[in-house]
Structure 1
Amino acid sequence: MYIIRTTMMLCQQAQAPVIQMTTGGMDLSVLRRRAQKEKVVVVMGATGTGKSRLSIDLATQFQAEIINSDKIQVYEGLDIVTNKITEEECNGVPHHLLGFVDPESDFTARNFVSTASMAMKSIVGRGKLPIIAGGSNSFIEALVDDENYDFRSRYDVCFLWVDVSMLLLHQFVADRVDRMVAAGMVEEVRSIYNPNADYSKGIRRAIGVPEFDSYFRAEYSSSSDEKTRAKLLEAAINETKINTCILAHRQLEKIHRLRNVKGWEIHRIDVTKVFQKKGREADEAWGELVTGPASVIVNEFLYNFGHSRGFAATADGRGRGFRVAETGSAMATAIYN
């Protein structure tokens, strides 16, 4: 039995969408009458690839709310270790299933299916689009293929896969762990350290917690010297980096299985060129190569305009735009592949 602390990360009111449709006099009520299922967007990818960023970009354009599908970020606490999105980063978009479970409890895939289902129903009831984002593909698979809930009979789903060259991702992960350490990760883990803790339960399963056990034991030992503790700290940080890279590989393996074995239609968006840039150039590349193509895909999915006259939309939140006329599947494929 898991314990819920709170139900939703409270952010400011979501921004109005920036997608603008030109229908040429088409009666949109026809589209509404044809719709038999609600729409859901799922943003997938390995850790560190930019899933949260893309989900927020899309949410601000399409009047959406985000449901977290990261099995560790559902727990309350350890915000640095679990890399939870901050209130500022959420850009006014409401986030559900984020930091709402007691850290000592176990939150299972079955728990996720039930709570995510309620969140989707609530979001749809407010006339918003649910966007599910997170790296726990086992949670997403459990939800989509759940026989009791019958997800596919209720929802049409659009899968977006944010992907990057593994070599670049390894370097990014290493740098991110260093930034987390600088931001106070060690102190954060120390605050929950218990020499008798079970690292197979709750939030203590998070990468970056069990790796520091030997270091903290040395801290509490009168026989360890400063040099020994420094070596153990360095080893813990390196192990955290290695285990995060191993996690990324496993996440990719699951996505490939869902795509190639189970036959899920998953749109791959390659962000490798973005990771090769820095600063403003990286932000501009993100808008052009990631947010823009993803917006095209989601717009076609939502409005079924795959072979009709086009629409105008902004590629990022800073006024830079792209224009698509006569948008079709071939064009979308050319953009994001």
Structure 2
Amino acid sequence: METTSPTEEKSSGYNPNSGSNSKPKIVVIMGASGSGKSKLAIDLASHFPIEIISADSMQVYQGLDVLTNKVPFDEQRGVPHHLLGTISPNVEFTAKDFRDSAIPLIDEIWSRNCLPVLVGGTNYYIQALVSRFLLDDHAEPLEANYLMDDHDNERPDNELESPEEDCLYTYSRLKELDPVAANRIHPNDQRKIKQYLTLYSHLGVLPSKLFQGNTMQNWGQADSLRYDCCFICVDASLPALDLYVNQRVDVMVSTGLFEEVCDIYKSNADYTRGLRQAIGVREFEDFLNCWNSQSQELPACPVLLKENMHHILNSSDEDQLTLKLRDAVEKVKLNTRRLVRRQKRRISRLQMLFGWNIHFVDVTSCLQGASDNSWSVNVVEPSVNIVKSFLDTPASAKATKRDVEDTKLAERDLWTQYICEACGNRELRGAHEWEQHRQGRSHRKRASRLRKSGILSGVTKNTSVD
């Protein structure tokens, strides 16, 4: 497909600032790791005057270009990319930092008569940017994704606090203050406990009341978002994504992953802050520590280690180093596949629980090796049509449809606590999360096995926490 310069006039004739006093329009390309988000965004530049803002919590850092899968400069095809490899790898770049950086960038892009396109799989970055509620300065203590989070967070908050301060943020204090809010989180989830109590101390409003009063108003209605958003999700089946992720990790190994890991490796490093949080760093810690203990040459000659890692991986030996290295590569694949599931689950929640109008474009056949023409026909062309329709439709025309959707959204069950006895008394929140769990293969297997054995007559119980 021929590419024109992003500053040239596109065939659509689109002028992002033409005759409208409504909220600025932005396009958001979401999706799981490996689904082709960046590729699609760059292809859209052939049809619209766009500039890309990376919404990836690891690609924002300098370094680990292979491991974080940054788009190489020569593949960007002249399309301006922002927040890509611009932050020092040793600092913590939070969702609030992303918001504060992206808002002026969007204004600048609009001033150049270009369309801002956010691209990334870090959904809480996107939430922090487009949601007025989470952008309210009074709500800063809240992590940008607290309404959507699971217990397996992508980026836990690990700020160190003094013992005196820690003692103020206890589950028993939250339960005494607001039993409804306490009942929706795990007693050991210190991060959320602190968020809820900090919220109360800043606003003087019980967290549960704030959720019930403002969540629907500020998340459920499209016209309450900071921007007029066109959400496109590059989607694929899990088997196709799993296979592609495994293949992509193998390609990374052959194109520089080992070298990057060796460069960033530091014994007893903090893997909870900055670039070292990236999947593909911590997984090699056991191997590198083992190498360090077996070889006195590591501190003096890291080049030797880089050269030997490829040899060790491909060796037919079954010694400790070889097994640890192979295990590290498999862990990178496994943890990336887990990330894919979290990303897909959160996108589903944005749509099902909060009413975001997300357009899904299926790339399964493309990941499975279909022709280049398949990408153009099945992915690029539908996306171009989605964006054209979005740009041509005034925000006022969307209001009537949203009124109906928002009424349904407000009636949804977000608060009921479901406890799955079959799965070790696992807690689920809200009807949607419970229904997803109930339909899961693991749950169905456990429930069937327990019913047959007569151990469990009723698989679930639920407790209203309204």
Same fold per superposition (TM over 0.5): yes
Structure 1 residue 211 corresponds to structure 2 residue 283 = yes
Cα deviation for residue 32 of structure 1 reads 3.3
Q: Which residue of 2 aligns with 1:47?
A: 33
Deviations 1:108-157 (A, max 9, x none): 00001100111101101111100000000011011111334699565211
Residue 61 of structure 1, CA deviation: 1.5
Residue number among 108, 112, 122 corresponding to 1:136 in the alignment? 122
Q: How far is the alpha carbon of 1:222 from its aligned partner?
A: 2.1
Aligned to 1:19: 11
Residue identity in the other structure for 1:286 = W
Q: Which residue of 2 aligns with 1:158?
A: 230
Determine the structure 1 residue equivalent to 2:321: 229
The residue that corresponds to 1:7 in the other structure is none
Q: Does the 8 A contact of 1:74 with 1:100 survive in 2?
A: yes
Structure 2 residue runs of 5 or longer lacking an equivalent are 137-217, 297-311, 395-466
- Say yes or no: does 1:285 pair with 2:374: yes
1:272 shift after superposition:
1.2
Structure-2 separation of matches of 1:17 and 1:250: 39
Counterparts in 2 of 1:285 and 1:15: CA distance versus 1, 3 Å: farther
1:118 equivalent in structure 2: 104
Post-superposition shift, 1:223? 7.3
Deviation of 1:88 after TM superposition, in Å, equals 1.2
Which of 319, 330, 339 is matched with 1:247 structurally? 339
For residues 15 and 21 of structure 1, what CA distance do their matches in structure 2 show? 12
Residue 294 of structure 1 corresponds to which residue in structure 2? 383
TM-score of the superposed pair, with normalisation by structure 2: 0.58
- Are the counterparts in 1 of residues 130 and 225 from structure 2 also a CA contact under 8 Å? no
Q: Distance in 2 between matches of 1:275 and 1:120?
A: 31
Partners of 1:175 and 1:18 lie apart in 2 by 36
* Structure 1 residues without counterparts, runs of 5 or longer: 1-11, 23-27, 306-337
**One-letter code aligned to 1:88:** D
Distance 1:34 1:86 in 2: 36
Instruction: Give the Å deviation of 1:276.
Output: 2.5
The partner residue of 1:171 within 218, 243, 258 is 243
Distance 2:387 2:262 in 1: 43
Q: Does 1:186 align with 2:275?
A: no
Q: Of the candidates 235, 255, 260, which is equivalent to residue 352 of structure 2?
A: 260
Deviations 1:64-113 (A, max 9, x none): 00000000111110101111110111110000011111101000000011
Name the CA distance, whole Å, in 2 between partners of 1:292 and 1:301: 14
Higher RCO, 1 vs 2 (CA within 8 Å, ≥6 residues apart): 1
Q: Contact between 2:130 and 2:226, CA under 8 Å: does it hold in 1?
A: no
- Cα pair distance change 1:231/1:16, threshold 3 Å: same
Structure 1 letter corresponding to 2:235: D
Q: TM-score w.r.t. structure 1 length?
A: 0.79
- The structural deviation recorded for 1:16 is 3.1
How far 1:218 moved relative to its partner?
1.3
Change (3 A) 1:153 1:50: closer
Quick check: 1:42–1:133 contact (8 Å CA) kept in 2? yes
- Give the CA deviation at 1:13: 5.5
Matches of 1:54 and 1:97 in 2, distance apart?
Answer: 18
Q: Structure 1 residue 256: deviation in Å?
A: 0.4
Aligned-pair identity (%): 41
C-alpha RMSD over aligned residues: 2.6
Q: Give the partner amino acid of 1:251.
A: Q
Q: Secondary structure of 1:269's partner? A: strand
Amino acid at match of 1:269: V
Who wins on radius of gyration, i.e. which is larger? 2
Write the distance in 2 (CA, Å) between the matches of 1:223 and 1:61. Answer: 55
Distance 2:127 2:267 in 1: 35
Deviation at 1:294, TM superposition (A): 0.4
Q: Distance in 2 between matches of 1:286 and 1:155?
A: 29
205 and 118 in structure 1: CA distance in 2 versus 1, 3 angstrom threshold: same
SS of residue matched to 1:44: strand
Separation (CA, whole Å) in 2 of partners of 1:56 and 1:186? 28
CA contact (8 A) 1:44 1:134 kept: yes
Where do residues 299-314 of structure 1 align in structure 2 (5 Å cutoff)? 299-304=388-393
Instruction: Give the corresponding residue for 1:319.
Output: none
User: Which of 73, 84, 88 in structure 1 is aligned with 2:59?
Assistant: 73
CA distance in 2, matches of 1:163, 1:203: 26
Distance 1:239 1:71 in 2: 20
Higher helix content, 1 or 2: 2
**What is the aligned partner in structure 1 of residue 441 from structure 2?**
none
What is the letter of the counterpart of residue 182 of structure 1? Answer: S
Question: Could you tell which deviates more after superposition, 141-150 or 84-93?
Answer: 141-150
Residue identity matched to 2:6: A
Aligned residues: 286
Q: Is the 8 A contact 2:132 2:226 kept in 1?
A: no
* 2:365 maps to amino acid: K
Q: Which has the higher strand share?
A: 1
Distance in structure 1 (CA, Å) of the matches to 2:62 and 2:278 = 12
